[in-house]
A and B are shown apart, each in its own frame.
Chain A
Amino acid sequence: MSLLHINGLQVHFQTEAGLVRAVDGVDLELESGRTLGIVGESGCGKSVTMLSVMRLIQPPGRIMAGSILFEGRDLLALSREEMRQVRGGGIGMVFQDPMTSLNPVLSVGEQIAEAIEIHKRTSRRRAWSMAVEAMERVSIPDAADRAGDYPHQFSGGMRQRIMIAMAIACKPRLLIADEPTTALDVTVQAQILNLLRDLQAENKMSIIVITHDLRVAAQLCHDLAVFYAGRVMERGNAEQILSNPGHPYTIALRNSIPGFSSSGERLQTIGGNPPNLIDKISGCVFHPRCPTAHSSCSDLSPVERFVSDGRSLACDYHALGEM
């Protein structure tokens, strides 16, 4: 049984401009102990999908359909109280911007201890010392002294470590990291990625990393899911996808990133803009920008098909050929 199994997830936002289908039929699967990377452009539904796993979609957003099985239980069917136990207990989450994701008026120790008090039902003092331990685990120097400090007294990288300490304080089986390094300096980014890798090895937890940076995904992830316009374009083994992408969008995405395309060549861009999710696109969502689109692509919506073990993609004319 997989740790997390998302099936046919649909999340809609009722806005004044119209209905936004932010997530439109997403399937994902994650085995325990593995790292899944979710890549895609801004607004492609990566974060909304993960917030749905936490059931933290705020109105006007709503989860319309689908199931999210975590350790075999459908999170969408849980009561509020049961869901609170999952949040921070079974699943921890790290957010993108450590500058705004920590409460400025509470000390970092209090904020970590708060998570522990909820899930471990221990005394204040015990929770505090566990919070200090969590800070030590993410390599914050002088953790015991610094637990009483406030977020503004830490650098960006240290704050992200604190966010991670908060998320892993209760030893979750799954850690969701939403663009954990985007707001950080490049040198600090590498440190945070290493930290996540170490923590995974230590605690045997699974990680989902949301990123728009394919290099981050390449460094960290076993598996990869490529999102576009609220759907999964391609998913499977990260190494295979990056070395031999099958979906035209994955190919285009890879070619637009320095370091993946061969050196000396001009970087390629993807023509056009990501679609407005209010308008319904007939056929494949990528066909208006697809360099290899066929005439039928505008009529028929491709179904996700499995091409090899664990590898699947949603394109009728993918580059891998029939296997």
Chain B
Amino acid sequence: MYRFIIRRVLSAIPLLIAITLVSFAIMQMAPGDFLTQMSLNPQISPQLIEKLRVTYGLDQPVHIRYLRWLWGVVRLDFGYSFAYHMPVIKLIAQRAAATLLLGLSSTIFAWGIAVPLGILAAVHRNSWIDRLTSILAFMGISVPTAFLALLAVFAAARTGWLPIGGMHHMSYEFMAPWQQFLDLLRHLILPTLVLGIGMLAGLMRQVRSNLLETLRSDYVTAARAKGVSERVAVYRHAFGNAINPLITIFGYYIGDLLSGAALVEIVMAWPGLGRLMLDALSGKDIYLVMGSLVISSIMLIGGNLLADILLAYSDPRIRYD
């Protein structure tokens, strides 16, 4: 097992290099750089821009810049954001916390509801509860998340029950710690719902179909023939075998934690990585883009690795030797 983990981590290194190389190359294909916008400003002389270009190292050829950046990453130096005048790593750390918080709360929300509802729907197949959850799930799958976010903002604005966006109230700084906590929770509710509903719908269908399949299996009939209760037949025997595909999906969700919320963040003004990435991309703030990309890739690879490790624990047939 440990050898497997080490091998996977080592094999992730060339993968990461490939990802960054391709991304770096694609970014270069778009015309202009971060300073191009400045050159439109008549107040800034072309000489100054040339000087800045040399200072930022943007005058170097592509491969030199990539290798310089890569060497920096090896020393855990992700470079400097042109737009924010801040080390990329610091900037990302600030924003990633907000995104992770949203990602985790919506993941917990989605799984916490999807798993029990999926089980209920599978066990009472074709009953009213199955039909109702199916309809809701299809609605959840069909409505685009960004549109749902707009609806939520609209509803919040009309009713005034919940904040329409952002992460903190204006007077956040002056609140007592427990008030700050409550304020954060209030701000978290809508983005969590919006992001969670999209995940929940698909997940619930997945739980239902996996469980339906294992409920039909011979070993569940054999378990019933031993006299186990319906609960044991469903939870121990059927669900115990239905969770493997869910673990794989769980791995993808972990990989998606940082980047999956981008749309919702932008619509609901959540100060997370998604907006930062978008601004960085359109502003050609290249090292910031690369930094976010590396972090997201590491999350994806790590999430999959975690899923594989969990799979080995849940299914004795899977052994990595």
Minimum Cβ distance to chain B for residue A177 (Å): 12
Closest B residue by C-beta to A103:
B219
A97 within 8 A of B: yes
Residues of A within 8 A of B222 (CB): 93, 95, 101-103, 163, 166
| B226 A115 Cβ-Cβ under 8 A | yes
A274 to B219 CA separation, bound complex (whole angstroms): 29
B237 within 8 A of A: yes
A323 within 8 A of B: no
A56 to B217 CA separation, bound complex (whole angstroms): 13
B60 within 8 A of A: no
Residues of B within 8 A of A163 (CB): 222
Stretch from A81-89, A218-226, A252-260, A302-310 forming part of the interface with B = A81-89
B20 within 8 A of A: no
Residues of A within 8 A of B314 (CB): 105
| A104 B227 Cβ-Cβ under 8 A | no
A115 touching B227 in the complex, CB below 8 Å, given contacts A104-B317, A105-B316, A152-B317 = yes
A103 touching B223 in the complex, CB below 8 Å, given contacts A84-B229, A114-B228 = yes
Q: Would you call the interface of chain B mostly helix, strand, loop, or mixed?
A: helix
B186 within 8 A of A: no
Residues of A within 8 A of B229 (CB): 84
A101 touching B224 in the complex, CB below 8 Å, given contacts A152-B316, A152-B317 = no
Residues of B within 8 A of A167 (CB): 225-226
Closest A residue by C-beta to B221:
A56
A190 within 8 A of B: no
Q: Quick one: which of A54-106 are within 8 Å of B by CB?
A: 54, 56, 84-89, 92-93, 95, 97, 100-106
B180 within 8 A of A: no
Minimum Cβ distance to chain A for residue B129 (Å): 16
Minimum Cβ distance to chain B for residue A278 (Å): 21
A146 within 8 A of B: no
| B240 A103 Cβ-Cβ under 8 A | yes
Which of B223, B232, B240 gathers most chain A CB within 10 Å? B223
B279 within 8 A of A: no
A115 to B223 CA separation, bound complex (whole angstroms): 8
Contact of A103 among B225, B227, B237 (CB under 8 A): B237
A75 to B315 CA separation, bound complex (whole angstroms): 37
A317 within 8 A of B: no
A103 touching B241 in the complex, CB below 8 Å, given contacts A56-B221, A152-B316 = yes
What are the interface flags for A10-33 relative to B under an 8 Å C-beta threshold, 1 for contact and 0 otherwise? 000000000000000000000000
Residues of B within 8 A of A106 (CB): 236-237, 240
A197 within 8 A of B: no
Minimum Cβ distance to chain A for residue B229 (Å): 7
Residues of B within 8 A of A51 (CB): 221
Q: Quick one: which of B260-289 are within 8 Å of A by CB?
A: none
A84 to B227 CA separation, bound complex (whole angstroms): 4
A95 to B225 CA separation, bound complex (whole angstroms): 10
| A104 B224 Cβ-Cβ under 8 A | no
A5 within 8 A of B: no
Minimum Cβ distance to chain B for residue A242 (Å): 29
Residues of B within 8 A of A103 (CB): 219, 222-223, 237, 240-241
A114 touching B219 in the complex, CB below 8 Å, given contacts A103-B237, A104-B316 = no
A56 touching B225 in the complex, CB below 8 Å, given contacts A100-B218, A101-B218, A150-B317 = yes
Residues of B within 8 A of A119 (CB): 227
A118 within 8 A of B: yes
Residues of B within 8 A of A114 (CB): 223, 226, 228, 232
A213 to B114 CA separation, bound complex (whole angstroms): 47
What are the interface flags for B208-221 relative to A under an 8 Å C-beta threshold, 1 for contact and 0 otherwise? 00000000011101
What are the interface flags for A153-165 relative to B under an 8 Å C-beta threshold, 1 for contact and 0 otherwise? 0000000000100
| A104 B225 Cβ-Cβ under 8 A | no
| B217 A118 Cβ-Cβ under 8 A | no
| B225 A100 Cβ-Cβ under 8 A | no
Residues of B within 8 A of A95 (CB): 218, 221-222, 225
Residues of B within 8 A of A118 (CB): 226-228
What are the interface flags for B286-321 relative to A under an 8 Å C-beta threshold, 1 for contact and 0 otherwise? 000000000000000000000000000011110000
Minimum Cβ distance to chain A for residue B128 (Å): 16
A87 touching B317 in the complex, CB below 8 Å, given contacts A100-B219, A101-B218 = no
Minimum Cβ distance to chain A for residue B121 (Å): 15
A107 to B223 CA separation, bound complex (whole angstroms): 13
| B225 A87 Cβ-Cβ under 8 A | yes
* Residue ranges of A at the interface with B (Cβ–Cβ < 8 Å): 51, 54, 56, 84-89, 92-93, 95, 97, 100-107, 111, 114-115, 118-119, 150, 152, 163, 166-167
- Sampled A-B contacts (14; CB under 8 Å): A56-B221, A85-B227, A88-B227, A100-B217, A100-B219, A102-B219, A103-B240, A104-B219, A104-B317, A114-B226, A118-B227, A152-B316, A166-B226, A167-B226
| Beyond known contacts A56-B224, A84-B228: 14 more, CB 8 A cutoff | A84-B227, A85-B227, A87-B225, A87-B227, A88-B227, A89-B227, A93-B225, A95-B218, A95-B221, A100-B217, A103-B240, A118-B226, A152-B317, A167-B226
* Residue ranges of B at the interface with A (Cβ–Cβ < 8 Å): 217-219, 221-229, 232, 236-237, 240-241, 314-317
